Amino acid sequence: MRDVRCLNNKSYVHFRGQPLRDKTLASLTVGRVYKALPPTEDERRLGELRIIDNEGEDYLYPTEYFETVLFPTTRKPDETATIHLDALTKAILWAEATAARKSISALLRDWIDERLDLPA
């Protein structure tokens, strides 16, 4: 799988004799990064990408609707994410982090790196 950024989310299906519609596809958000599945030979020939969209389903979209996301070779944290936990889950995370001799944040960053297919 590779990461791609959505450039266009306008309807691309047009039937002969029907007026062109400037309709937005609810399943894509311009600027959002999506996972693209490896294309089959037919999908490559037709110029389509199979994207896991906002609903978590994979559908075919025109390749020109996306650009490949290139990650920098060196990354430093510049964004934050906040999660809200119940007291028991937080206590369990604290115990796991303490046993690993890490902060809860470091433990979670490690888990994210282990489980997600992030570029090195």
Instruction: Give the model confidence (pLDDT) of 28-68 as tens digits.
Output: 999 999 999 998 999 889 999 999 998 889 999 889 999 99
Which position has the token pair 């450039």?
A: 7
For residue range 79-112, list pLDDT tens digits in order. Answer: 788 889 999 999 989 899 888 899 999 999 888 8
Pick from 9, 50, 64: which is nearest to 32 by CA?
Answer: 9
Structure tokens at 37: 């599945």
CA angle 32–34–39, rounded 5-degree value: 145
* pLDDT score at 73: 72
| Number of Cα atoms under 13 Å in the Cβ half of residue 41 | 0
Radius of gyration of the chain (CA): 20
Is the confidence at residue 5, as pLDDT, over 70? yes
Higher-scoring residue by pLDDT: 44, 76: 44
